[in-house]
Amino acid sequence: MKPIAMPSPSISRSTNNFVDVSRPRLTSDLLENTPPYHVAAGVPEALAAFRAPERLGFGAVAAPVMYRVDWRDGAWQRGALEPYGPIQILPGARALQYAELVFEGMKAYRVGHATANLFRPRDNWLRFARSAQRLSMPVVPESLFLQAIDAVVGTCLEIIPRESGRALYLRPFLFGTEAGYLLRNSTTFSFMVIANPVEPYAAGPMRVAIERGDVRAAVGGVGAAKTAANYAASLRASTAAVLRGMTVALWLDAREQRFIQELSGMNLFAVIDGALHTPALDGAILPGITRDSLLSLGRHLGYAVIERSMPIDELLAQIVSGECSEVLACGTAATVSPIAVLEDAEPRTPSRDSNRVGREYAPRQVDRVAAQLREALLAIQERRAPDPFGWTRDVPVLTG
């Protein structure tokens, strides 16, 4: 089968903070010629052997299949659905040496329906394309991205959790496979999709540690791209926070360490005088699809919704005065999670110090607005309520 050369899409800024990736020129001819993926030996057996434990955790249980397609000679090759397992990669591959890797996080739902559905998959593809372009990696065409997602979800239909709040988490990722230390991009890449049946990311109200030492991302860097390097930069503070009994670290801007950015895997909202406030995207914050959904959903539910620069000290003062009644976090993994406490570990101590104790700020309300937003969002995601925004997309049932 002849591989298909995909033109690089041009990317420009759009008004909704997502990037408008003008569609790769997928003429109907190109679409019809998209090579069907190969189903490797062992897939039916892997599926039949899969048993999910009662406690799923988040990423602890791997779905039994994965999708892989390679890029070489400037073209995407034929994809394959394979049993989940170790992959071969050269130790010198740029993905390993220089973190040449971008990824996405999305969920497939199957609550009360025979079929599965996705939530805003095109927005995941758009962000994936933008992340790839930030690292000057080839863009995975939308049709190929969806082919891979549909293949994994369709094959895993019977292992998608049926309980509300649980889902099949999908992790598409693209990485450079060429070995070499020269500081330029790989010329060969792999795009893969793995999946995990999951529970919500955080169980119960979260304890957030304000990070005043390390910095996650600076404007002009790669903070707005979903690339492994951002998460690597966050791990020291996140681990230290967890060792102190906290749930996650809260990041501040790199220049002044004054303005709230995000929580690595989540974006933050505060309820101030009844309105929903969230940090405006500053070029270093990851533009969360759940964040964007809450902006629309919040307005739909009658909230005033305000995106602005949010100084951390102002928010802490507003929690003390009661002007800020509630703080919450959102993300694909987290859905909408309540925050019980923000801990400020002044004076500034290195984040590796796991013994430090800081002042705690507890908003007077926990999981009231968060619960309302979570239920409204989940009801749409799980197709329990009408979807006035057109966010859900059914996954085609696999035949044959």
User: How far apart are the C-alpha atoms of 14 and 396, rounded to whole Å?
Assistant: 30
* Upstream peptide bond of 347 is cis (omega within 30 degrees of 0): yes
Q: Which of 146, 151, 330, 333 binds ligand COI (CB under 6 A)?
A: 333
- CA 338 from centroid of its chain's CA atoms: 18
Strand partners, 119: 392
- The smaller minimum CB distance to ligand COI, of residues 145 and 201, is found at 201
Question: In angstroms, what is the minimal distance from the CB of 386 to ligand COI?
Answer: 25
Does position 172 bind ligand COI by CB under 6 A? Answer: no
CB 68 within 8 A of CB 89: no
Region binding ligand COI by CB under 6 A among candidate stretches 33-41, 44-52, 250-258, 330-338: 330-338
Nearest alpha-carbon partner for 261 in 333, 212, 206? 212
Coil, strand or helix at 106: strand
Among positions 3-42, residues that touch ligand COI (CB under 6 A) are none
- The contact mask relative to ligand COI for 186-215 (x = CB under 6 A, - = no) is ---------------x--------------
Region binding ligand COI by CB under 6 A among candidate stretches 212-220, 313-321, 329-337, 375-383: 329-337
Provide the terminal-to-terminal Cα distance of the chain, rounded to the nearest Å.
21
Residues 6+ apart with CB under 8 A from 246: 207, 208, 209, 343
Q: Which of 24, 105, 138, 141 binds ligand COI (CB under 6 A)?
A: 105
- The smaller minimum CB distance to ligand COI, of residues 26 and 194, is found at 194
- State the pairing for strand pair 206-210/248-250: parallel
CB 303 within 8 A of CB 280: no
CA distances from 337 to 164, 205, 268 (A): 15, 7, 10
Q: Which of 141, 200, 265, 287 binds ligand COI (CB under 6 A)?
A: 265
- The smaller minimum CB distance to ligand COI, of residues 98 and 173, is found at 173
- The smaller minimum CB distance to ligand COI, of residues 109 and 201, is found at 201
Region binding ligand COI by CB under 6 A among candidate stretches 291-299, 311-319, 328-336, 350-358: 328-336
- The smaller minimum CB distance to ligand COI, of residues 105 and 161, is found at 105
CB 289 within 8 A of CB 334: no
Q: Which of 64, 200, 223, 331 binds ligand COI (CB under 6 A)?
A: 331
Residue nearest to ligand COI (CB): 105
By CB under 6 A, the count of residues binding ligand COI is: 6
Element (H, E) at 361: strand 359-361
Does position 332 bind ligand COI by CB under 6 A? Answer: yes
- The smaller minimum CB distance to ligand COI, of residues 334 and 366, is found at 334
Question: In angstroms, what is the minimal distance from the CB of 335 to ligand COI?
Answer: 9
Tokens of 137: 């990696």
Region binding ligand COI by CB under 6 A among candidate stretches 68-76, 187-195, 306-314, 331-339: 331-339
User: How far apart are the C-alpha atoms of 79 and 93, rounded to whole Å?
Assistant: 20
Nearest alpha-carbon partner for 135 in 174, 92, 108, 188? 174
Which residues of the chain form contacts with ligand COI (CB under 6 A)?
Answer: 105, 201, 265, 331-333
